[in-house]
Amino acid sequence: MVRLFLSGDGPQSRILGAILLLILFCLAFAPFLFPGTRSLETAARICIFIVLVASYDLLLGYAGIVSFAHTMFFGLGAYGVAITTQRMGTSYESLILGTMAGAGIAAVLALVIALFSLRVRAIFFAMITLAVASAVAVLVSQLSAITGGEDGMNIRIPRELTPAFRPFDEPVLGVRFSGRHLNYYLVFFTCLILFLGMLRIVNSPFGRVLQAIRENAFRAEAIGYRVIWYRVTATILSAVVAALAGSVFAVWLRYVGPATTLGVEIMLDILLIVVIGGMGTMYGAVVGTAIFVLAQNYLKDWMGGASDAVGFMPLLPDLLSPDRWLMWLGILFILSVYFFPTGIVGRLRGVT
């Protein structure tokens, strides 16, 4: 049964299996295990970024295509929901329609970019995605009448998904359950389904051909596979999943702005997480995202504690000062790339 859900692609390592189970358990019961707004925000961000990073891994790790427009597709999904709910009013229908519109536009844009650039060489695709992503980011900032410009847009979501909604009078397992928790489980289950769907795709005959193309496109052509068709399809699938993740993110945040969805920093984060987690593994997205988002959110706090603990020593408190958290994050990445060249998952699976 578990193998069926995982499309026959198990963790292949006990330690990795245990880590994945721990992450799944923590995310599934986050509202009860880690009560508090900040921890719920972190858990939701982990869920959404797992899907976003996994959809990028589908492109980079499985198809060998480098794209810099992944956040653009993520943003299209988020803005799709924001604009639709603003125009059509707050309802589940407008959320669904906005999600579908964002995914649809992402698919069309991915098709156009892929057909124009992938036919020639993969490097042109990377360059074109960079140009298109920059153009879209500028457009979003400029077209403030539609997108809210640099200020972004607030999103009104159905009341059942907001903190004001209380489905139960009594606390559930010690937690006063609200619409915010329902919203979290909407995020969690949507992300779980999308992740398992992608796992299915990469383990299907289609995914196998993608891997063959990544390794040697000419060889795959000589066997009888239309490389361009597979690359275009992978690009569209990846864009659609990124857009869906963007829609979920928008519903969760109830806000969308250029910095939260279209920023270059997010693209760099995605790249880093894929590399740290392990390219072409899918599970790398899970482990990498969990570590990265936790470090991003809590490293400052942990360092504050460490700095206080070694306050009596010379130099160390300064080095561990919370202000230097970005430096330590950088060191962490350099070390992980150095010691885990195939990513954490690659290393745990015994691939050197």
Binding residues for other proteins (CB under 8 A): 205, 208-209, 211-212, 214-216, 218-227, 280
> Rounded distance, CA 37 to CA 20, Å?
24
Strand duo 255-256 + 153-154: pairing: antiparallel
For residues 14-36, one letter each, b for 16 or more C-beta atoms within 10 angstroms of the residue's C-beta and e for the rest, the string is eebeebbeebeeebbebbeeeee
Q: Using CA atoms, how far apart are residues 12 and 174, in angstroms rounded to an integer?
A: 37
For residues 25 and 229, which CB has a smaller minimum distance to other proteins in the complex? 229
Output the smallest distance, CB 20 to other proteins, in A: 22
Least distance (Å) from other proteins to the CB of residue 242?
Answer: 25
- What's the count of helices (H) and strands (E) in the chain, helices before strands? 18, 2
Which lies closer to other proteins via its Cβ, residue 217 or residue 294?
217
> In which residue are the tokens 């857009």 written?
243
- Shortest separation between residue 278's beta carbon and other proteins, angstroms: 13
CB of 65 or CB of 76, closer to other proteins: 65
In this complex, which beta carbon is closest to other proteins, that of residue 159 or of residue 219?
A: 219
Provide the minimum distance between the beta carbon of 280 and other proteins in the complex, in angstroms, as a whole number: 8
User: Residue 227 Cβ, how far from other proteins at the closest point, in Å?
Assistant: 8
Closest distance to other proteins from the beta carbon of 209 (Å): 7
Q: Please, which residue, 145 or 222, has the CB nearer to other proteins?
A: 222
- DSSP for 188-201, written as a single string: HHHHHHHHHHHHHH
Of residues 121 and 208, the one with the C-beta less far from other proteins: 208
Nearer to other proteins, 176 or 226 (CB): 226
Least distance (Å) between residue 225 CB and other proteins:
6
Q: Contact 292/317 with Cβ under 8 angstroms?
A: no
Q: What is the CA radius of gyration of the chain?
A: 21
Which of 346, 63, 347 has the alpha carbon at shortest distance from 215?
A: 63
Minimal distance in Å, beta carbon 200 to other proteins? 16
- CA dihedral (275, 323, 31, 71) in degrees, to 10, reads -40
| CA 194 vs CA 20, 47, 326: distances in Å | 16, 10, 31
State the helix-helix crossing angle for 92-117 and 70-88, rounded to 10 degrees. 150
What is the longest distance spanned by two Cα atoms in the chain? 69
Closest CB to other proteins among 6 and 299? 6
